[in-house]
Amino acid sequence: MKFFLDTADVGKIKAAVEMGMCDGVTTNPTIIMKSGRGQKEVVQEIAALVPGPVSVEGISEDADGMVKEGTEFAKWAKNIVVKLPMTKEGLKAARILEKKGIKTNVTLVFSANQALLAAKAGASYVSPFVGRLDDVSEDGMQLIADIMDILSNYEFKTEVIVASVRDPVHVMDAARMGAHIATIPPDVFEKLFKHPLTDRGIAQFKEDYAKSKK
Ligand code: E4P
């Protein structure tokens, strides 16, 4: 399973890359805004740090605009993936960009049929948003189970990125379901390492070592 970081925080990305835990990065306009930096500048810095795909999202609403924007993004670095909204225009743009050899990530996916459409359009990645579904009292992880089940019946190249991850249980369930990727916010990534019994065990061993015969 691949871990992407869902952030534009270069320091946190660098630390995770150094641990071999960051296989890629996803951004969106909100994440870029929170970074306080310009999109091109920060994305190029991230793309140079990360060995894997870095998703970048534009704001065009029509396929022509998305293709223009995506073609420009793809010049920023060789590992850029163009994020496209789950609309008819977004899917048209995905098909065109993929034919040009530019990888796409269809985002804002909230149903299994939307994921199926993105796969049929030839997108390299599809991003179902689990946390936002949970927020409206739907079962985000059930959507991942349905998508994995459906895609496993066919030979689509599309990889599923579990997005809008809010807690470590989302990551564990994504892995259990065989999702290809989880894109994880830095605070949730930190929580993956933690268990109170690990901390207590380390403290106990340290204490006992100090008391043992030297
Ligand atoms: C995914 O690519 C998105 O950037 C992200 O996961 C959205 O998460 P949010 O619902 O927490 O904003």
Residues contacting 95, CB < 8 A, separation 6+ = 121, 122
pLDDT at 3: 98
Query: What is the signed CA dihedral for 102, 73, 182, 49, rounded to 10 degrees?
Result: 110
In angstroms, what is the span from residue 87 Cα to ligand 1's centroid? 17
* pLDDT more than 90, % of the chain: 99
Q: What is the pTM of this model?
A: 0.96
Check pocket membership of 131 for ligand 1, CB cut-off 6 A: yes
Q: Which atom of ligand 1 is nearest to the CA of 135?
A: 10
Among 50, 161, 20, 146, residue whose Cα is nearest residue 104? 161
Among 125, 118, 127, 56, residue whose Cα is nearest residue 88? 118
Residue by residue, DSSP assigns 149-193 as HHHTTS---PEEEEBS--SHHHHHHHHHTT-SEEEE-HHHHHHHT
Among 7, 12, 4, 9, residue whose Cα is nearest residue 190? 12
Catalytic residues, which ones?
83
CA distance 69 to 62: 11
Q: Which atom of ligand 1 is nearest to the CA of 28?
A: 4
Mutate to test the pocket of ligand 1, among 46, 164, 170 (most ligand atoms within 8 A of CB): 164
- The pLDDT tens digits of the residues spanning 47-60 come to 999 989 999 999 99
In angstroms, what is the span from residue 54 Cα to ligand 1's centroid? 14
pLDDT at 165: 98
pLDDT at 1: 97
Q: For every one of its 214 residues, what pLDDT tens digit does the chain have, with 9 covering 90 and above?
A: 999 999 999 999 999 999 999 999 999 999 999 999 999 999 999 999 998 999 999 999 999 999 999 999 999 999 999 999 999 999 999 999 999 999 999 999 999 999 999 999 999 999 999 999 999 999 999 999 999 999 999 999 999 999 999 999 999 999 999 999 999 999 999 999 999 999 999 999 999 999 999 8
Q: Compute the mean pLDDT over every residue in the chain, rounded to the nearest whole number.
A: 98
CA distance 46 to 33: 15
- The pLDDT tens digits of the residues spanning 18-43 come to 999 999 999 999 999 999 999 999 99
